[in-house]
Amino acid sequence: MTAGAHLPVMLDRVLAAIAPRDGAIYVDGTFGAGGYSRAILDSARCRVCGIDRDPATAPAAAALESRYGGRFQFVPGRYGDMDSLLAARGIHAVDGVALDVGVSSMQLDSAERGFSFRADGPLDMRMSSTGRSAAEIVNEESERSLAAIIRDYGEERRARRVARAIVEARGEAPITRTGRLAAVVRQAVGQGGGGRHAIDPATRTFQAIRIHVNDELGELARGLSAAETLLRPGGRLAVVTFHSLEDRAVKRYLVERSEARPLPSRHAPDAPAGEPPPPPPRGPAPPAGGAAGPLPAARAPRDPPRRSRDRRQPARPFGTPARRRADGDAERRSEGGMRRSSTLLFALLAVAMGAVSIVIGTEVRDLEDRLAAIHRDIAREQEALHVLRAEWSYLNRPDRLEALARRHLGLRTPGAAQTMAVSDLPFAVQPDAAGGAPAPGPATPAPLEISAKAAGTAR
Ligand SMILES: C[S@@+](CC[C@H](N)C(=O)[O-])C[C@H]1O[C@@H](n2cnc3c(N)ncnc32)[C@H](O)[C@@H]1O
C-alpha cells in the first residue's frame, strides 16, 4: 500500500472540519495510505497519531514517520480502542479525530485479500488478518444466521434466498473463493432491472459479510465513544461514511450527543457546582456522506452493535452510558414515584383532615343550632314570665278582679237585698228541746239552691 496509490476522499471537507492548528494533536483513526494524516500535518505545525488495523498499512506509515519526524506516530490497532492505544503512549487528550470508515480501495483491489466479488481470490475479508475469515462465516454459520447478516448489514431484500443458496452450495463443497461466492449470490438474486447502471447483485452480500467479519459497525460505535472521551472540550470530529448503515449510526450519535445534556468531560476544568457545562462550539456543516463537527464533551449512549463477535468490551462500552441513562431514568422514575406517593399521602391526609374538619364543623353547627333554640326558649319563657307578672300585678287588686268578673263572667257583687244572714235562713238548724244536739234536718241543699237562684236572678 503506497501513499500515491490512494486518493483520499473528501479531503477538503475533512480538513475544514478538523481545522488543524499549530501545537494541537490529532488522530487519524483510519490511516490507510495516510492521505488525511499527511494533509493535516501539512496544514499546521501539529502532531498526528495514525491508527490502522491493517498491517499492510505499515510501509506507508513508516514513510510518514520518516518524513515528519516526531510529529507523526503510527499506532497499529483498532480505532475503537483509540483512547487506550493513545493512553499507552502517554496521550490522554486530543484536539481532533478523523475517521474514513470502511474498506480502502487498496484492500478492495487486492484479490488476495478476498474483499472483491470482481476479482477471484481467497474468501478472507479480514482487515487485520486475524479472527474468523469470510470463508469460515460463509461455511459455518446457520442459514438463519447468514440470512440475518445479509439482511442487516447488506440491506439485501432477498437475504433468505441468498442464504439458502449459500447453504445449498456449501453442501456440495465448501465455499473458499470470492469468485464462487459471487456466482452463487448472483444466481440467487438474479440480475434484476437497472440496466448497465445496476450494481452487481453480489455487492450487498459481499458488503454484509465484510461488515460482519470486521465488526465494522461495532468498531464505529466504539470509535465514536472513544473519540468523545479523548477529545478536549471544543475538539473536532470528522467522520466520512460510505454506506447508509454507517451514515445513520454517525448521524444518530451526533444528534443524540448534541441534544443530550452533555456530561462534563474528564478533560474539562471542574465546573462550579450547579453550573451547566459550556455549550460545544459551532462547527461546519457535515459533509455529504459523512458527518463532522465539534463533539459535545460527553460520551454517548447508543444501541449496542448487533451481532458483534468481538467479545472485548470497549473502553467505555455502549451499554455503560445507556445503562447510566437507564439508571438515571429508573432514579427519576423512582423519584417521580416517591414524589407521587408523597403527593398521594398528602392528598389522603388532606382528605382525611378535610373529612374530620367537616365532621367537627357539622357537630359545632348542630350544637350552635341547639344553643340558639335554647336561647329562643329562654326568651319565650322570660316573656311569658313578664306577662304573668304583669297579670298578677293587675289582678292583685279586688276592684280589677271585680271588673273582670263583671266583664267576662257577667257577675255582679250582690246588693244588700240579695243577701241575708245565715240565721235568717229558713232551714237554719234548731236546737232540740232537750237542749242536745240538733236533729238532722230533712234536706240541706235547699239553701244552696236558693242561693243559686238568688245568684241567677242577679243576672
Ligand atoms: C477508507 S480507508 C482510509 C483511507 C485514508 N483516509 C487515506 O486517506 O488513505 C479505511 C482504512 O481504515 C482501516 N480501518 C477500517 N476499520 C478500522 C478499524 N476499526 N480500526 C483501524 N483501522 C481501520 C482500514 O484498514 C483501511 O486502511
Task: pLDDT band for 334, please (50, 70, 90 cuts).
Answer: very low
User: Model's pTM, two decimal places?
Assistant: 0.61
- The grid cell for 139 is 461455511
Q: Give the pLDDT of residue 198.
A: 80
Mutating to test ligand 1, I would choose from 6, 18, 30 the residue with most ligand atoms within 8 A of its C-beta, which is: 30
- Cα 48 to ligand 1 centre (Å): 15
Enumerate residues lining ligand 1, CB below 6 A. 6, 8, 30, 32-36, 51-54, 57, 78-80, 100, 102, 104, 127, 219
Once rounded to an integer, what is the mean pLDDT over residues 227-255? Answer: 95
Q: What's the DSSP call for residue 177?
A: B
Once rounded to an integer, what is the mean pLDDT over residues 282-294? Answer: 44
More confident residue, 350 or 62: 62
Candidate from 4-8, 99-103, 118-122 with smallest mean pLDDT = 4-8
Task: pLDDT band for 196, please (50, 70, 90 cuts).
Answer: low
Rounded CA separation 52/42 (Å)? 20
Share of the chain above pLDDT 70, in %: 67
Backbone torsions φ then ψ of 28, nearest 5 degrees? -105, 95
* 387-416 tens-digit pLDDT: 788 777 777 777 777 877 777 787 777 777
Measuring CA to CA, which residue among 203, 209, 202 is closest to residue 147? 209
- The grid cell for 414 is 250582690
Once rounded to an integer, what is the mean pLDDT over residues 277-302? Answer: 41
Once rounded to an integer, what is the mean pLDDT over residues 135-154? Answer: 98
Rounded CA separation 94/229 (Å)? 9
Measuring CA to CA, which residue among 123, 143, 145, 144 is closest to residue 133? 123
Q: Residue 135: pLDDT above 70?
A: yes
Q: Residue 351: pLDDT above 90?
A: no
Q: How far is CA 174 from CA 113, 166, 171, 177, 214, in A?
A: 18, 10, 7, 9, 21
Q: Residue 375: pLDDT above 50?
A: yes
Q: Give the pLDDT of residue 288.
A: 38
Select from 3.30.70.520, 3.40.50.970, 1.10.357.10, 1.10.150.170 the CATH code of 113-214. 1.10.150.170
Q: Give the pLDDT of residue 109.
A: 94
Measuring CA to CA, which residue among 123, 152, 151, 127 is closest to residue 136? 123
Rounded CA separation 232/362 (Å)? 71
Q: Residue 434: pLDDT above 60?
A: no
Q: Which residue's CA lies nearest to atom 12 of ligand 1?
A: 30
- The grid cell for 251 is 448521524
Q: Residue 382: pLDDT above 60?
A: yes
Q: Give the pLDDT of residue 49.
A: 98
Q: Residue 422: pLDDT above 90?
A: no
Q: Which residue's CA lies nearest to atom 4 of ligand 1?
A: 32
In words, the CATH class of domain 3-105+215-269+276-317 is alpha beta
Candidate from 111-120, 142-151, 163-172, 291-300 with smallest mean pLDDT = 291-300
Q: Give the pLDDT of residue 455.
A: 39
Q: Which residue's CA lies nearest to atom 22 of ligand 1?
A: 52
Mutating to test ligand 1, I would choose from 72, 99, 104, 109 the residue with most ligand atoms within 8 A of its C-beta, which is: 104
- Cα 113 to ligand 1 centre (Å): 14
* Ligand 1 nearest atom to the CA of residue 8, by list position: 8
More confident residue, 110 or 277: 110
Question: E strands within 217-349?
Answer: 231-240, 290-294
Q: Residue 246: pLDDT above 90?
A: yes
- Cα 321 to ligand 1 centre (Å): 27
- Cα 79 to ligand 1 centre (Å): 9
Q: Residue 249: pLDDT above 90?
A: yes
Q: Give the pLDDT of residue 253.
A: 93
Q: Give the pLDDT of residue 74.
A: 98
Q: Give the pLDDT of residue 359.
A: 52
* Ligand 1 nearest atom to the CA of residue 32, by list position: 27
- What is the residue-averaged pLDDT of the chain? 77
Q: Give the pLDDT of residue 101.
A: 97
Q: Give the pLDDT of residue 339.
A: 44
Task: pLDDT band for 454, please (50, 70, 90 cuts).
Answer: very low
Q: Give the pLDDT of residue 432.
A: 56
Q: Give the pLDDT of residue 393.
A: 79
- Cα 240 to ligand 1 centre (Å): 11
Q: Residue 291: pLDDT above 60?
A: no
More confident residue, 65 or 325: 65
Once rounded to an integer, what is the mean pLDDT over residues 80-86? Answer: 98
Q: Residue 299: pLDDT above 80?
A: no
Once rounded to an integer, what is the mean pLDDT over residues 114-135? Answer: 97
What is the residue extent of each domain of the chain?
3-105+215-269+276-317, 113-214
* Ligand 1 nearest atom to the CA of residue 98, by list position: 6
Q: Give the pLDDT of residue 415.
A: 74
